[in-house]
Amino acid sequence: MSDKAYALFEEQQALRGIDIAAVKAKLKALKVETPSWGYGDSGTRFKVYKQTGVPRNPFEKFEDAAQVHKLTGVCPSVAIHIPWDKVDDYAKLKQHASDLGVSIGAVNPNLFQEDDYIFGSVTNSNAAIRRKATDHLLECVDIAKTVGSDVLSLWFADGSNYPGQVDIRARKAWMYESLKEMYNAMSPSMRMLIEYKFYEPAFYHTDLADWGMAFNLANKLGPQAEVLVDTGHHPQGTNIEHIVTYLLDENKLGGFHFNSRKYGDDDLIVGSVNPYELFLIFYQIIDAANDKNPQIRQAADNIAYMIDQSHNIERKIPAMLRSVLNVQTQYAKALLINLEEVRAAQENQDVLGAEDAVRKAFEFDVTPLLKAVREEIGVPVDPMKAYLASGYDEKINARGKGGASW
């Protein structure tokens, strides 16, 4: 991208009243966490495909994640999932991450891999299984303390497949009991992010099926518990940006699992199908970040942006890069919304004017801006091209086939 293209872009935005220096500062501050499981083999319930070159252990997952950070400069932390990323020595994993220039981010307990959890984990009617599940949550708090992470990210597959199968109210109480125990074990700087999903793997009822249930639970637990919005976890047609705005206003928006979907919880490359939805989510966050109320501004600045995606048919690292780049692109576009123009239109009840003020920001080509920002932070202007030219993808093929699943 020539300097000329950027100079034109800057001039065009200045004429619209956009402070480009402020936009650039915001873009540089955006950090996106990538998930360790996005580098492993994955699949559907029909098949897990084995790709050549997939990491064989958590240490190699961090090596791949470090590539994404090296090339983008915006992915300094990596979420782990226990026991997928179980190691004997977590301090060693922490050191390994730090040697690679990244850190361990959210710690995700995993209560959906074992046969014991067939009828639920923290909501199982068998007290011994509930105990086992709660002990795992407590183990994850300890792991987070060891690796220096402040985020515990919870998702429960718990639910039932048939009417009458379970006592829904009893399970609600058991869920609270277990999470309260975990909450009490957290250190004051830790946050518990509670994720919801309306179905899958359970098909009749899911114990935490929507944001209202997660919000209520987080409220009951206390200020260190917040809601995590996975963009793939809603019924079709849900206005996710409205949920985001509501949670932000209640100071209960903890973070995101970004991914894209066409049908169910498809876990596809972020923004591949629905870039406008992502843009509108960022619009609401940016609007809150500019609120008169400092508490709302703080809430908007304290969101954990994470990617949660599985690449069943794509090469893992370029797929992750694509997602990160798409997040940056939509954030950059949303930063070009002239909020004063939107507000003036709202005050005049000018429906078309307000819609236009938002939409037209989406229509700008932000490539010159992103290239300029990348140059300034010292990463390749085209991270995807740089990755493909780096030889890393060929190098990891030496690992062979049969790496870690998730």
Please identify, using beta-carbon distances, which residue of 107 and 361 lies nearer to ligand PSV.
107
Least CB distance from residue 112 to Mn ion, whole Å?
11
Per CB under 6 A, 197 contacts ligand PSV:
yes
SS (H, E, C) the chain: CCHHHHHHHHHHHHHCCCCHHHHHHHHHHCCCEEEHHHHCECECCCCECCCCCCCCCHHHHHHHHHHHHHHHCCCCEEEEEECCCCCCCHHHHHHHHHHCCCEEEEEEECCCCCHHHCCCCCCCCCHHHHHHHHHHHHHHHHHHHHHCCCEEEECCCCEECCCCCCCHHHHHHHHHHHHHHHHHHCCCCCEEEEECCCCCCCCCEECCCCHHHHHHHHHHHCCCEEEEEECCCCCCCCCHHHHHHHHHHCCCEEEEEECECCCCCCCECCCCCCHHHHHHHHHHHHHHHCCCCHHHHHHHCCCEEEECCCCCCCCHHHHHHHHHHHHHHHHHHHCCCCHHHHHHHHHCCCHHHHHHHHHHHHCCCCHHHHHHHHHHHCCCCCHHHHHHHHCHHHHHHHHCCCCCEC
Number of chain residues interacting with ligand PSV (CB under 6 A): 9
Per CB under 6 A, 108 contacts ligand PSV:
yes
Stretch that binds Mn ion, among 37-45, 59-67, 261-269, 330-338 (CB under 5 A): 261-269
Least CB distance from residue 181 to Mn ion, whole Å?
23
Least CB distance from residue 109 to ligand PSV, whole Å?
9
Per CB under 6 A, 230 contacts ligand PSV:
yes
Stretch that binds Mn ion, among 54-62, 126-134, 222-230, 282-290 (CB under 5 A): 222-230
Please choose which of Mn ion, ligand PSV, none residue 85 contacts, taking the beta carbon within 5 to 8 angstroms, the exact cut-off set by kind: none
Per CB under 6 A, 94 contacts ligand PSV:
no
Least CB distance from residue 157 to ligand PSV, whole Å?
7
Per CB under 5 A, 308 contacts Mn ion:
yes
Per CB under 6 A, 265 contacts ligand PSV:
yes
Stretch that binds Mn ion, among 56-64, 78-86, 230-238, 269-277 (CB under 5 A): 230-238
Per CB under 6 A, 37 contacts ligand PSV:
yes
Please choose which of Mn ion, ligand PSV, none residue 256 contacts, taking the beta carbon within 5 to 8 angstroms, the exact cut-off set by kind: none
Least CB distance from residue 272 to ligand PSV, whole Å?
17
Per CB under 6 A, 211 contacts ligand PSV:
no
Residues in contact with ligand PSV by CB under 6 A are: 37, 108, 155, 195, 197, 230, 257, 265, 308
